[in-house]
Structure 1
Amino acid sequence: MTALTDAPATAAPAPARRARRLTPLFFARHLLRLAVSLAVLVVASFAMIHLIPGDPLRQMLGPTAPKELVDARRAELGLNDSLATQFVHYVQHVFSGDLGTSFFSYQPVSDIIAQGLPNTLALAVLSTLVALVVAIPLGMWAAVRTHQGRRRGTETAFTTLTGAAVAIPEYLYGLALLLVFALGLGLLPPAGMTGPASYILPVTALSIAPTAMIARLARVETQRELDTDYMRLAHAKRLPAWRLYAVHLLPNTLTATLTMGGLLLGGLITGSVLVENVFAWPGLGQRTVEAITQKDYPVAQAMILLYGALVLIINFLVDMVLGLLDPKSSLSASTRQEG
């Protein structure tokens, strides 16, 4: 106790910084993994159009189109070539940015993506930010309140509510929010992108489940840090609560939590498809569903390639950030403990 009394009351030792592992070998290994994954994705997106039953050209031209017209269009698109030749042409077009033309709107697929992708990314990024801003303080609060087995009721309520929130699909949240706040109370726009208020419902629908998931992880990370020596010393020095939690505790709980947030960003980009349809959001979601239902294969093919590439690239960037900040992240262990 003498050492604690004599030590300065304005600082508490932080855990020793661990050596970074973002070496050239680490970067090269993950870059190679990304390249292989992207190659598999390109092959899968090419194979899709050949594995789906039915004739896409017949779907495009209609069941009554003359056979001569169908054959001429097939030759024009190069569908009479061997699969190997078609694949080489497909790869060349992908790397040149030529993703084909919609069967129905005759609009270049690259233009469709350029129009809708910014709106989809806006929803995904805003939803991730909202989830992080709400979930991290919520998870830390729950950890402090229930530390060392205190307040069992709070712990039960927290785990039950967050578990239920994670289990409900985003589009169901969207439907409920639409019925209550737009159609029922008339407080918010029901559809479209008409201004800042139109972001509230879709962003809320997308962020509820990630908020619950990150809050659960933040609680586990915070509980682990509360049992460390530097936090016990900070408690013994009777530091102000804001300094104790904001200065000493928060930075050491963020690595795994922010990593999870980065991973969820990729999931939100793909998961926004149904939510965008609920709110008639002018992103890629509506075009993706239309392409699948109408069998507009060039658009559907490009969307699979785009969504997959975005998820892979985001995961790669998260790995790089994690390797830079925390070479021995407890993300996996914390997730297993929470589960």
Structure 2
Amino acid sequence: MSTDLVDIAGEAAPAEGSGPPAAARRLAGGRWIVFIGRRLVRLLVSLLVLVSATFAMIHLIPGDPVAAALGSSATPAMIADRTHELGLDRPLWDQYVTYLRDVVTLDFGRSISTESPVSDLILQRFPNTLRLAIPAFVLVILLALPIGLLTAVRTRGGRGRVTRGVFVGLTGLLNSIPDYVLGTLLTLIFVIGLKAFPAAGDQGAASYVLPIAALVVAPVASLSRIVRVEALKVLDAEYIRAAKARRLPTLLRYWRHVLPNMVTATLTYGSLILSGLIAGTVLVENVFGWPGVGTVITQAVVQKDYPTIQGVLLVLGAAVLLMNLIVDLALAAVDPRSRVGEL
């Protein structure tokens, strides 16, 4: 047995040096600063693209957005006054510079329909959206990891064909159901039929159950399949056989050698799931009448309230970018090999 395998299988070092102590040593000091600096630059560039896209949106829409928002009863004078108030009659470059300045100060303008500050509305509603998305993401990780790992153990080496067939079929079915469709089904069964949960809105802890369930089912099914595939690769690796030959306890072997070597793919795919969860809440909130930004943006689309649409989309996009940055930093800390080209 080579020295590397002895180190990997022994109790002094995690698998392939990918554990937290090794990660801290390899990414300490200046390398961490360079890595974080590059990630922050990418975040700022992505935010600039996002801000530019939301600014362009209102100018690419056919017709006059102010006239569309005010309705057919608006007079030309009313439209002209509202256009001047919103600054839409100024040169395009001037509007863009003003928009950038306002976004930096978290000023997203005023709603065309209610004339209230969009930032106040977002500040009031966005925490409610996070109260669904963050617990849903944590629950996805906590469920998908053990489900995928246990299925990999039971189906390793061609064993458990029935288990594999049931797992693949069931996860494929659950992954294909859109969250808003599942939310509607859950409402029909548990709200209208069984009357076991509140019908809509935030009415306490019970109000979280069905929206979070609608959000997590498909991601758990999808991520558990990824975990199973990665776990099968790790379980067949030579350093795992070496650890088993040393008669390490099964749980210790999985904890110290299997999980650290499958966490890269799990976290990478998990960041995509988190982005989907934040976007998915827009639809799920409308199904369950949840007081988040999802219901706000739906009403804004119906009312053609473009400043509100811009502000909500900008905040949702920024939240996704920030969450991806956090996942990237966590991934680099757990497994520096995943970012070796950037260090």
Q: Same fold (TM over 0.5)?
A: yes
1:131 and 2:140 matched: yes
Which residue, 119, 124, 135 being the options, matches 1:110? 119
C-alpha distance in 1 between matches for 2:77 and 2:15? 75
The match for 2:15 is 15
Identity %: 48
1:194 and 2:207 matched: no
Write the letter of the residue equivalent to 2:15: P
Contact 1:12 1:230 in 2 (8 A): no
C-alpha distance in 1 between matches for 2:40 and 2:102? 23
Once structures 1 and 2 are overlaid, which stretch shifts more, 128-137 or 232-241? 232-241
CA shift, 1:108, in A, is 1.1
The match for 1:219 is 228
Write the letter of the residue equivalent to 1:15: A
The match for 1:90 is 99
Q: What are the equivalent positions in structure 2 for 1:241-256 lying under 5 Å apart? A: 241-256=250-265
Which residue, 205, 220, 240 being the options, matches 2:214? 205
Once structures 1 and 2 are overlaid, which stretch shifts more, 215-224 or 134-143? 215-224
The match for 1:179 is 188
CA shift, 1:59, in A, is 2.7
Once structures 1 and 2 are overlaid, which stretch shifts more, 102-111 or 232-241? 232-241
The match for 1:264 is 273
Contact 1:171 1:275 in 2 (8 A): yes
SS at match of 1:188: coil
SS at match of 1:146: helix
Contact 1:165 1:209 in 2 (8 A): yes
SS at match of 2:337: coil
Contact 2:183 2:214 in 1 (8 A): yes
Contact 2:201 2:207 in 1 (8 A): yes
CA shift, 1:317, in A, is 2.1
CA shift, 1:227, in A, is 1.4
SS at match of 1:99: coil
Alpha-carbon deviations, 1:16-59, whole Å to 9, x = none? 31564554433333322222211111111001111112322223
Write the letter of the residue equivalent to 2:188: L
Alpha-carbon deviations, 1:199-228, whole Å to 9, x = none? 000000000011011111111221122112
CA shift, 1:171, in A, is 0.5
Contact 2:230 2:262 in 1 (8 A): yes
Write the letter of the residue equivalent to 1:293: V
Write the letter of the residue equivalent to 1:39: L
Which residue, 253, 264, 274 being the options, matches 2:283? 274
1:323–1:244 CA distance, 2 compared to 1 (3 A): closer
Contact 1:12 1:248 in 2 (8 A): no
User: What is the root-mean-square deviation in Å for CA atoms of aligned residues?
Assistant: 2.2
CA shift, 1:237, in A, is 4.3
The match for 1:310 is 319
Contact 2:260 2:334 in 1 (8 A): no
Write the letter of the residue equivalent to 2:226: L
Write the letter of the residue equivalent to 2:166: A
1:39 and 2:48 matched: yes
The match for 1:72 is 81
Once structures 1 and 2 are overlaid, which stretch shifts more, 320-329 or 196-205? 320-329
1:147 and 2:156 matched: yes
CA shift, 1:234, in A, is 3.5
C-alpha distance in 2 between matches for 1:11 and 1:37? 43
Write the letter of the residue equivalent to 2:209: I
1:294 and 2:307 matched: no
Write the letter of the residue equivalent to 1:32: V
SS at match of 2:16: coil
Once structures 1 and 2 are overlaid, which stretch shifts more, 225-234 or 212-221? 225-234
Write the letter of the residue equivalent to 1:268: L
Which residue, 128, 145, 150 being the options, matches 1:119? 128
Write the letter of the residue equivalent to 2:14: A
